[in-house]
Amino acid sequence: MKIFNSDLELTIRILLLLETIGADLNSSMVENLDIIALYGLDYDISEENLHGDNSLGLAEISSRHDLVAAALKRLVLKRLATIKSTNNGFFYSISSNGHACCSNMQSDYSREYRKMVILAKEFCSHKTEKEIQQFVLTKKLGSENNG
């Protein structure tokens, strides 16, 4: 069974992200915050990439949309997250069951990931969703052209 870079790993990370952010997020923001948190060095928010120095490409970024959507669906179905429909789309937040689950996640990786999510949140706090999306894509395009 594959654990690293698996659907399970992504689902757990998203649950930790929802817990750390503590606010309703749409799937696009979940995707972008996760990418920035994982590749903090590439996005100039930390001194290292949580998943090491590999080449996250645009293909990986574009494939994340479906993966994140599936992970959010799993979390809602397992009652670890809630979904709210608004005029601006669907928004997700952690449920009380999700909080209980996260309280058991105290590994070095989960603590480090939470720290990176906080840095990503602070970095994005004064940007619009469109600016964040453009930043994620532009930064990756620049690193692919330089590498």
Residue 67 lies in a domain: yes
Residue 37 lies in a domain: yes
pLDDT at 55: 60
pLDDT at 109: 93
Domain that holds residue 72: 7-146
pLDDT at 141: 53
Residue 49 lies in a domain: yes
pLDDT at 108: 94
pLDDT of 1 over the 50 cut: no
pLDDT at 47: 92
91 pLDDT band, cuts 50/70/90, is very high
138-142 long-range contacts (CB < 8 A, ≥24 apart) are 139/42, 139/43, 140/42, 140/56, 140/57, 140/58, 140/61, 141/58
Instruction: Using DSSP, state whether 47 is helix, strand or coil.
Output: coil
Strand partners, 84: 91
Instruction: Give the sign of the dihedral formed by CA 135, CA 140, CA 141, CA 142.
Output: positive
Q: Looking at the chain, which runs of residues are DSSP E strands? A: 81-86, 89-94
| Cβ proximity of 53 and 42 under 8 Å | no
pLDDT at 2: 46
Angstrom distance (rounded) from CA 27 to CA 64: 10
pLDDT of 14 over the 90 cut: yes
**pLDDT tens profile 42-75:** 888 999 888 776 665 555 677 788 899 999 999 9
**Which residue carries 């990931």 as its tokens?**
113
Q: Which amino acid is at 127?
A: K
Least confident of 52-56, 74-78, 82-86, 122-126: 52-56
Number of domains making up the chain: 1
Q: Which amino acid is at 75?
A: L
pLDDT at 101: 96
Closest CA to 5 of 48, 38, 30: 38
Question: pTM for this one?
Answer: 0.88
Query: What is the token pair recorded at 6?
Result: 């698996």
pLDDT at 147: 47
Residue 52 lies in a domain: yes
